[in-house]
Amino acid sequence: NAYTHSKFSSTYGEPYAKFLSRIKQAEQASKVLKEMHIKVDGKGADDKSDLSNQIYTALSSTKNDIDGSLSDYKRANETDSDDLGPIIAVLSAYLQAEKNNEALYFVNTALLRNPENMDLLLLKAQTHALMGDTPKAIQVLSNLISTDSTNSLAYQHLALIYRSLNQNEEAQDVVNKGLSFLPEDFELKLIKASIFEALGRDQDAIKLYEKMLDKRPDSIMASNKLSSLLLDNRNDSVSLNRIHALSDAFKKNHAPQFLDTYGRVCYKVGNLAEAEQALNLLKANEEKYPKNAAIQYHLAKLYLAKSDHINAKKFLEEALKNSKNQQFEQRVEVNQLLKTL
């Protein structure tokens, strides 16, 4: 996502290309590298630095092991310690390998070189959260907010941690505090609406999403959330037409949360062919990433819409099992759904 929004940035392009190479998508990795260094109207990535050269060397290799990738990224990071791309890559690789202590040691070492770096402090908090040490993550984020009261990401991460713990009142307090300093922050408003949902205040959530879409009608995230709520709460023809209009934007977006909503819309209006197509795309995603809790959650929701409770239960259980080292705010909802099944 970062590379998509910053097409010519080596900060994101190089680690992304390295990742593609590691999962044996060499053609796509090569395409990323070529795009990254194309000059458009005189703009584009700078000539390759030592950092670039080291990652390019890693890309040329055929090894596919995590330890080798960590070694490559560590060398790159030693060349340019201010580049977050390799740091994020190392942390992700450690956490993927469930080497949590090494991940924490690595981010603490980076902070020794730059103890006031807000981005690194956010990474430290995320690492603690993914390790399951939520009290420490909360402490790091609270300190960060005390230092910088306009740090939107700190408010977002702290609120989402409370959400994952089902501490919705605390999450609401964090979001409201953030909005008092950043009243137009769209991401904080998205979280506020999701808290309304968690508190059973669906009508308040619907109103907030509608207001957000008035200001930013092209927000696919707000459109998706609103569509999902309307699906669960309203059956009148006006609402169904509204859902259909909103969901039209999801047809070409194959992200799990959009496939989930679009498929449920199709099942609701009786468009079974397109519903099955969305289901098959989600199944393909799950087969490709069999330990991704979010994909499994959305696949289960679509099976529920199909009234296939056996597969829904299967993937809800898989999502719960795999969410241990992942940011997954639907944990409480998954437990509740499993009780009903």
Instruction: Please tell me the distance from the alpha carbon of residue 232 to that of residue 43, in angstroms, as a whole number.
Output: 47
The pair of structure tokens assigned to 296 is 């499994």
The set of residues, in sequence order, having a beta carbon less than 8 Å from that of 120 and lying 6+ positions away, is 84, 87, 107, 110, 111, 114
Out of 112-116, 167-171, 247-251, 272-276, which region has the weakest mean confidence (pLDDT)? 247-251
Name the H helices within 37-133.
50-60, 66-79, 84-96, 100-113, 118-130
Listing DSSP states for 109-122 in one string gives HHHHHSTT-HHHHH
Query: Could you report the per-residue pLDDT of 132-172, keeping only the tens digit for each?
Result: 899 999 999 999 999 999 999 999 999 999 998 889 999 99
pLDDT classification of 8: cutoffs 50, 70, 90:
low
| Terminal alpha carbon distance of the chain | 35
- Residue whose C-alpha is closest to residue 247's, from 275, 220, 216: 220
Residue 295 is which amino acid? Answer: I
Instruction: Please tell me the distance from the alpha carbon of residue 319 to that of residue 317, in angstroms, as a whole number.
Output: 5
Residue 212 is which amino acid? Answer: M
The pLDDT value recorded for residue 38 is 56
Instruction: Please tell me the distance from the alpha carbon of residue 10 to that of residue 8, in angstroms, as a whole number.
Output: 6
pLDDT classification of 110: cutoffs 50, 70, 90:
confident
Give mean pLDDT, residues 233-246: 81
Is the pLDDT at 7 greater than 90? The verdict is no
Q: Which residue has the higher pLDDT, 109 or 9?
A: 109
pLDDT classification of 1: cutoffs 50, 70, 90:
low
Query: Could you report the per-residue pLDDT of 38-94, keeping only the tens digit for each?
Result: 544 444 444 444 444 444 444 443 344 556 656 656 665 565 555 676 677 677 777
- Residue whose C-alpha is closest to residue 72's, from 34, 22, 124, 135: 22
Query: Could you report the per-residue pLDDT of 195-205, keeping only the tens digit for each?
Result: 999 899 999 99
The pLDDT value recorded for residue 43 is 44
The pTM score is: 0.70
Q: Which residue has the higher pLDDT, 25 or 125?
A: 125
Residue 276 burial class via C-beta count within 10 angstroms: exposed 0-12, middle 13-18, buried 19 and up:
middle
- Residue whose C-alpha is closest to residue 189's, from 213, 165, 167: 213
**Scanning the structure block, which residue is given the tokens 């809800």?**
316
Instruction: Please tell me the distance from the alpha carbon of residue 88 to that of residue 213, in angstroms, as a whole number.
Output: 32
The pLDDT value recorded for residue 325 is 65
> Residue 202's CB: how many other CB atoms inside 10 A?
16
